[in-house]
Amino acid sequence: MPTDSNRASLSAPDSVLHALLGAVFSGFAHPVIIKDAQLRFVHVNAPACAMLGRAAPELLGRTDDAIVPAAQAARIAAVDREILASGEPRAFEEAITTPDGEARHLLTHKHRIAPPGAREPLILTMITDVTELRHAERRQRHSEAHYRALVDLLPQVVWVADARGQVTEIGPTWSRLSGRAAEAAYGSGWESAVHAQDLPRVRRQWRTSVTSGAPLDVQCRVRAADGTFRWVRNRAAARRDARGRIVAWHGLLEDIHERKRAELALRESEALVRSIVESTPDGIQLLDAEGELLLVNPAGRRLFGAPTAADGQGRRWDRVLAPGDLAKGARALAQVRAGRVARFEAYVTPRERPGLCMDIIAAPVPGADGKPARTLTIWRDISGAKAARDATEAARRAAEAAAAKLAAVLENTLDCVVVLDREWRLSYMNANARRLLSLGNEAIGQSLWTLYPQEQNGVFADHYRKALATHLPVTFEEYLPALSRWLEVHAAPTDEGLSIFFRDTSERRRAEQERFQAQAQVFHMSRHDALTTLPNRVLLRERLERGLAELEPGAHLSVLTLDLDAFKPVNDTYGHPVGDMLLRHIADRLNGCVREEDTVARVGGDEFVVLTRHGGAAAEAPALAARLIDALQRPFDLDGVSVEISACAGIALAPDDGTRVEALLRASDVALYRAKAQGRGTCLRYVPGMDTPLLARQAMKVALKGAIARDELELFFQPLVDLSSKRVSACEALLRWRQADAGLVSPADFIPLAEESGLIHAIGQWVLRGACQEAVRWTDDIAVAVNLSPLQFRDENLVAVVAQALTDAGLAAARLQLEITESVMLDESAANLRTLQALRRLGVKIVMDDFGTGYSSFGYLRRFPFDKIKVDRGFINDLPHGRESLAVVRAVAGIGRSLGITTVVEGVETQAQLEVVSAEGFDEGQGYLFSGPVPAAQVPALLHRLTRRPPEAGPGTANETPQ
Ligand code: C2E
Ligand code: CA
Ligand code: CA
């Protein structure tokens, strides 16, 4: 901001100088500003004041900060200081906005001046307002651009030539039209684009114009960018100066190709029409609106004579019509006047040839306004045809009567009937044929091959041609693609052509086909597994039979039986749909491992048989088995569930292991059975004698069946001891089978057989009843424990059986303990849980036996509130040193404590083991250390002894000998 002290510091000589300068510039029309070295205004003339919108006193002594925005003032000051420092003058143009908001262009000149006598240099600023000038310039530029754009958009080519006819400028449209650069057309360069035939004419005319000054108007062909020639019209006019001398030519070249083409086409068609009119044998007249003759063609002149103006009749168009037909003519003309075409037959009486019959067409010819202005008539002589028509009329009527009779017959037949003439034209169709072929009257007279072009070389055509060639009828049944139908056809050649009788047999065939397919389906189903579509046991046997019959000497046939190791848990865990999917995947993998000619069959839930023929080496079979087992061991992705399984295999080879179907399947099965006994993923080949244990098992099963009846089953009891009181709390019933010749059989050996054969239900019931009946003989504080097989849970009467056993024995339910294993919780767990709850409601105690041998034992404890957990003896076996076993034992003790479940250990054989489990806090113990299982009869004595004698004394003498 300027200050008053600044203003006051002007020295006297300077102020004189400034006043002087002010006087010099005050007369200037343009703004002039003078500043001192401190950039203060020392002189501002009137135009400058006007420009800045301030009076001089407001400005003098101040700097730019006082009048313009700070940023702008700083910019001006910077320039001023630079000029002061360098002494270089500056000129620049800037756009400013005046105080009243107007935009102006200012051209500013700044100089440093140092007037003689001045102490400091000054800055002289002279400003010219060039706003108007710039606006004018812009308008000019604008209109030029506008003109250029117009020229660019113009479909015509604008060109300019000098007075001598040399082209000096040509519009951009030329390049688009000719595909050549504009410069190439300069001078007489354009000539190379003109068609050679037209060029001489174009040159001549241009030269004439240039010399005479007459305007140019010429049409010629120009080679277009695509190489074709296009018609153009080129016009030019001279521009002259004030003295009338030509200074330039302004030309316009226009593409008239389409117009020209239409013109030529019109000319051609005119010529064509003329030649037709001249040469046709039909008479042609052109009449005016009143029906007066305007024009007659040569044929017409021959018919009616030339129109003559002489007699009044001479120009009448209808003067040749027979008097009886004149009315027809008048009607026709009226119709034409209404804009319609009329046609009629009439007799005419021309000069030399009376009695002609004519077919006459009269048509309106539209005038410029589109309304009928004239009439065209065409006269055709049909006398010959008419006579013939009349002559055949009678014969036709007779034939029609006969045909009508035949038609009645044909129409009523169930068949379709079609009659063809020798040119394949349809001359007759009955109603059935019309319906089946979807044809109407319009088809009569048309060629069969016009109607069905695609059948012209088809099998139907072959048959018809054969019938025509041999003159013998043909009968056939074929598929007609055109109709998508099966037709049974009888075609008989006649004098006229071919009579075709046919019927649609599609339905019948479809029914036959369906029946056949159904049979095939049944046949297939009876030989294939529905789930995997693999061959089933029936087809396997057939194939095996055939394979054995065709077996060549030295060759082998291998029967490979595969059994999945853990299919059931997959089914149980993920559900049957996933199980089914797994089986289908397995089928695919197995098929992927064998050759086309091999057979992969599904013969049971999770059992497959692979039938393969081997050349020489019998060793191929085990290798294949290994591949198959390997393939099944890779994880399966079943809709996002990854499932792993494994399989065992048994191999039997023909002829070595048998030559009959039955023997081979059995041998393979035996080998599989043995393989499974060895564990997952095992494969074994059958060897003789392999089935001995199996046979023994089989014999045992048979023997077990009669065991109850023969009274061979016995119950032993083993005590459970309360570890704190050292008293017997319960006795577990353990089953024994005393076989006449084999002595005592372990339940571990025969319970599985009983489970396999279903005997387990009868046996289980027998044990329950027996155990309860024994227990009532003991003191009230001793419970009885009974083992339940998981299979017993499939018996829906289990709860009733237990209740009945208690009632019959008169035993309190609270004294019965049922020992179950984890698999009860696994198999159909929902139903089994309900059974367990029902048992519990009886008042019976439920014990989880063999705890720790399954997968997720602790989970079960949450799903059912067991009364007791019995840790499997496998863990006790390891004690006192087994670390992992100790961990399990400790965990169970902890859970028991926290859930309030009684905990038991079984298999306690040593004092050391007893000490460990006692220390861990187990409630009860069972094992040889206390007593082995003893016959029922010995239980009272045992109880007496155990109560009397503490267990520290060692195992009792009456014990069953431990194995
Ligand atoms: P379990 O329920 O675990 O029965 C205990 C088995 O351990 C009995 O074998 C018993 O003789 C044996 N044992 C007892 N103390 C000791 C010991 O200190 N050390 C050793 N190493 N073993 C000991 P057993 O009687 O041969 O029974 C075997 C399995 O047969 C039983 O195992 C049970 O699962 C089943 N079983 C026995 N009786 C029946 C029955 O009536 N019904 C059903 N369904 N299964 C039964
Ligand atoms: Ca048990
Ligand atoms: Ca057990």
Burial string for 682-708 (b: 16+ CB within 10 Å, else e) reads: bbbbbeeebbeeeeebeebeebbeebe
Band of the pLDDT at 352, cuts 50, 70, 90? low
What pLDDT shows up at residue 963? 42
Atom of ligand 1 nearest to the CA of 850: 3
- CA of 906 from ligand 3 middle (Å) equals 6
Determine if ligand 1 sits within 6 Å of the CB of residue 251: no
Determine if ligand 1 sits within 6 Å of the CB of residue 909: yes
On the question of pLDDT at 863 being above 60, the answer is yes
Determine if ligand 1 sits within 6 Å of the CB of residue 873: yes
What pLDDT shows up at residue 348? 81
Averaged pLDDT of the chain: 84
The answer to whether residues 912 and 927 touch, using CB atoms and an 8 Å cutoff, is no
Helix residue ranges, H only, 213-294: 257-279
What pLDDT shows up at residue 956? 45
Neighbours of ion ligand 2 (CB under 5 A): 787, 819, 849
Determine if ligand 1 sits within 6 Å of the CB of residue 907: yes
Amino acid at 79: V
Q: Could you tell me what percent of the chain has a pLDDT over 90?
A: 34
What pLDDT shows up at residue 151? 59
Least confident range from 395-404, 485-494, 708-717: namely: 395-404
Q: Which of 943, 925, 455, 948 is nearest to 724 (CA)?
A: 925
On the question of pLDDT at 782 being above 70, the answer is yes
What pLDDT shows up at residue 694? 79
The answer to whether residues 923 and 845 touch, using CB atoms and an 8 Å cutoff, is no
pLDDT in tens, 150-176: 556 667 788 889 999 999 888 888 888
On the question of pLDDT at 764 being above 90, the answer is yes
Determine if ligand 1 sits within 6 Å of the CB of residue 234: no
- CA of 121 from ligand 3 middle (Å) equals 122
Neighbours of ion ligand 3 (CB under 5 A): 849-850, 906
Higher pLDDT residue, 616 or 715?
715
Q: Could you tell me what percent of the chain has a pLDDT over 70?
A: 88
Least confident range from 90-104, 106-120, 235-249, 620-634: namely: 90-104
On the question of pLDDT at 526 being above 50, the answer is yes
Q: 250: Cβ–Cβ under 8 A, 6 or more apart, which residues?
A: 158, 159, 160, 236, 237, 239
Determine if ligand 1 sits within 6 Å of the CB of residue 923: no
**Atom 7, ligand 1: which residue's CA is nearest?**
907
| Residue 54 to residue 584: CA distance in whole angstroms | 101
On the question of pLDDT at 210 being above 70, the answer is yes
Determine if ligand 1 sits within 6 Å of the CB of residue 36: no
Determine if ligand 1 sits within 6 Å of the CB of residue 913: no
- CA of 725 from ligand 1 middle (Å) equals 24
Determine if ligand 1 sits within 6 Å of the CB of residue 746: yes
Determine if ligand 1 sits within 6 Å of the CB of residue 963: no
| Residue 472 to residue 465: CA distance in whole angstroms | 10
What structural domains does the chain harbor? 4-135 (3.30.450.20), 154-255 (3.30.450.20), 264-412 (3.30.450.20), 416-509 (3.30.450.20), 539-690 (3.30.70.270), 713-953 (3.20.20.450)
Pairing of strands 902-905, 868-871: parallel
Atom of ligand 1 nearest to the CA of 933: 11
What pLDDT shows up at residue 4? 43
| Residue 732 to residue 816: CA distance in whole angstroms | 10
Angle at 669 between CA 581 and CA 603, to 5 degrees: 35
What pLDDT shows up at residue 948? 59
Mean pLDDT across 805-811: 95
Mean pLDDT across 789-816: 94
What pLDDT shows up at residue 925? 96
pLDDT in tens, 812-856: 999 999 999 988 887 667 888 899 999 999 999 999 999 888 655
Determine if ligand 1 sits within 6 Å of the CB of residue 761: no
Beta pairing partners, 739: 743
- CA of 758 from ligand 2 middle (Å) equals 20
**Atom 34, ligand 1: which residue's CA is nearest?**
787
Higher pLDDT residue, 846 or 344?
846
- CA of 795 from ligand 3 middle (Å) equals 23
| Residue 339 to residue 565: CA distance in whole angstroms | 96
| Residue 771, token pair as written in the block | 């155990």
Determine if ligand 1 sits within 6 Å of the CB of residue 754: no
Higher pLDDT residue, 508 or 836?
836
User: Peptide bond preceding 880: is omega within 30 degrees of 0, i.e. cis?
Assistant: yes
Determine if ligand 1 sits within 6 Å of the CB of residue 849: yes
On the question of pLDDT at 514 being above 80, the answer is yes
Determine if ligand 1 sits within 6 Å of the CB of residue 785: no
Band of the pLDDT at 8, cuts 50, 70, 90? very low
Atom of ligand 1 nearest to the CA of 926: 15
| Residue 126 to residue 45: CA distance in whole angstroms | 10
- CA of 823 from ligand 2 middle (Å) equals 14
- CA of 853 from ligand 3 middle (Å) equals 10
Higher pLDDT residue, 325 or 369?
325
**Atom 11, ligand 1: which residue's CA is nearest?**
933
Ligand nearest to the CA of 717: 1
Determine if ligand 1 sits within 6 Å of the CB of residue 582: no
Band of the pLDDT at 564, cuts 50, 70, 90? very high
Q: Which of 720, 709, 644 is nearest to 939 (CA)?
A: 720
On the question of pLDDT at 6 being above 60, the answer is no
